[in-house]
Amino acid sequence: MSPSIPSPFTRRISERRKELEALQAYPEEKLVSVIEEVGFSCTLCGKCCTRDFNGHVLLLDDDAARMLSRDPACLEPPPVYDLCDQHGTFYVSGYTIRAGNDRAGTCQFLERGRCRVYADRPWVCRVYPYMLHREPDETGEVDWRQISGLDQHGEYHSQIPPENARDIARDVKAFETAVLCQEIAFLEYIGEYFARHDLRHVRKRFDDRLREHQAGADITVKVFFQDSLEPWLVGGHHTERMPGTKGQGSSGDR
């Protein structure tokens, strides 16, 4: 019998499920209208493929598995963590693509302004710059956001045929649905994992360990991937898998 999930996790799960309901209720026609009005056209500037401009890309499990098949060394834990237990171990809900060593943090699959894995690129790259989730604006008001980096890259007001705009809208909603489902799966798993191992999220420990890490200390990060946790050692100048991860032929930490 699985242990009961602690209340902090059940609250988060409930919040994500409400977000999922709101997303599914969002009118498709409204998103289609936004896409047609924006009329984004890519100019191959490559800005969206850098952490300097876009932060990190959190991959869905299917995306991560597909990227691993292209390059076993292409993944790493994202630099933003979800939880930290009382022992100082961090947890995160998925992988990101390893960035290059340049100042901009360019995706390792970008070469001479072109994507080496374009046909297999992650879902988030396929729907970019469109999105559909709620977040606070600069005044703190929470509302729907449908596009990233508006007027900061690319060209706008290009004509997008109605059938193409509708396809984009459906892909965006499907992608955002998959993101929320992965977050819910992570919270359900990690809630049971914490209960089973007598762990708890400690905000002060989170902040203290993060400051130590920023000062150069190594930290352990466990990444949720395919219904298990994969441990990594993350330092100031190195990020490496620890023994017992799927990338090394193990079933991970259950």
pLDDT, one tens digit per residue, over 45-68 is 999 999 999 888 889 999 999 999
| pLDDT recorded at residue 55 | 85
Give me the chain's average pLDDT, please: 92
Give the residues across from 89 on adjacent strands.
none
Burial of residue 233 (number of CB atoms within 10 Å: 0-12, 13-18, 19+): middle
Q: How far is CA 182 from CA 8, 59, 188, in A?
A: 18, 10, 10
| pLDDT recorded at residue 249 | 39
Give the residues across from 240 on adjacent strands.
233
| pLDDT recorded at residue 74 | 95
Q: Is the pTM of this model over 0.75?
A: yes
Token pair 């559909």: residue:
132
| pLDDT recorded at residue 135 | 84
Which stretches in the chain have pLDDT values below 50? Answer: 248-251
Q: How many CB atoms lie within 10 A of CB 251?
A: 12
With left for phi above 0 and alpha for psi between -120 and 50, is residue 192 left, alpha or beta? alpha
Q: Which two tokens stand for residue 192?
A: 């049971």
Q: How far apart are CA 242 and CA 231, in angstroms?
A: 6
Closest CA to 160 of 42, 54, 73, 251: 42
Pairing of strands 75-76, 96-97: antiparallel
| pLDDT recorded at residue 217 | 96
Cβ distance 70 to 201 under 8 Å? no
Please, how many CA atoms are within 13 Å of residue 91, restricted to the half-sphere of its CB?
Answer: 24
Cβ distance 222 to 81 under 8 Å? no
